[in-house]
Amino acid sequence: MSASMQRLEEVLGEPDRVVVPPPWDRSAAETGIVLPQDYRAFVDRYGSVRICNDLLVWSPSIQFDPHGFEKFVRASRFAEEDILLAYEDKEEDIPFEVHPAPGGLLAWANNSKGDYCFWHMVGEDPEAWPVVVWIQDDFKWDVVDATTTEFLADVITGSYGLANDILTRIQGAPLWKHEGDWTGRF
């Protein structure tokens, strides 16, 4: 287990159930994309989760679609639509393109306010992809040189500068809850 995954597990605690992990070897075959290892380790341990009843960390799933990895990648199109709607006639101000554009963004989390977390798919090594955060209300983009699990731990602990923008802490809400796994079960 990586140090960042261990730190995140210390923050989140033990999962309350065993999840069915995705068959990661199918990802490259279905989409041509190998997702970052620390993200895969997180999903293998926790599945898809909602943090503080707000930030949803996505996970590939075959619920409603037998092509779970393709569905996961296609979900970035919803993020792209939200970005285009927000920028209306100012598309030239959008600093990134979304996958399938070469070096584009691939979404992996969002919150109730329409903010998104992406990987910036620059280079061949998914372990080197930075996290990109888009805060919709402020048209704010932030590139974070961190792995997925480092970033999530920093958001949850509040050490990431925009943590309060992307994570609304609801009084009495659980720190996290299971939202699904490869099979889609909750």
Q: Are 68 and 182 in contact (CB under 8 A)?
A: yes
Domain annotation covers residue 124: yes
Domain annotation covers residue 185: no
Segment-wise mean pLDDT, segments of 10 residues, the chain, 186 residues? 91 93 94 96 96 95 88 92 92 93 95 96 96 95 97 96 91 90 86
Look up residue 84 and give its DSSP letter.
H
- Residue 20: give the domain boundaries: 3-180
pTM, full prediction = 0.95
Domain annotation covers residue 154: yes
The CATH code of the domain that includes 8 is 3.40.1580
Domain annotation covers residue 40: yes
pLDDT tens digits, one per residue of 89-125: 888 999 999 998 999 999 999 999 999 999 999 999 9
pLDDT of residue 16: 87
What is the total count of domains within the chain? 1
Domain annotation covers residue 146: yes
Distance in angstroms (rounded) separating the CA atoms of residues 179 and 186? 5
Distance in angstroms (rounded) separating the CA atoms of residues 178 and 185? 9
Domain annotation covers residue 186: no
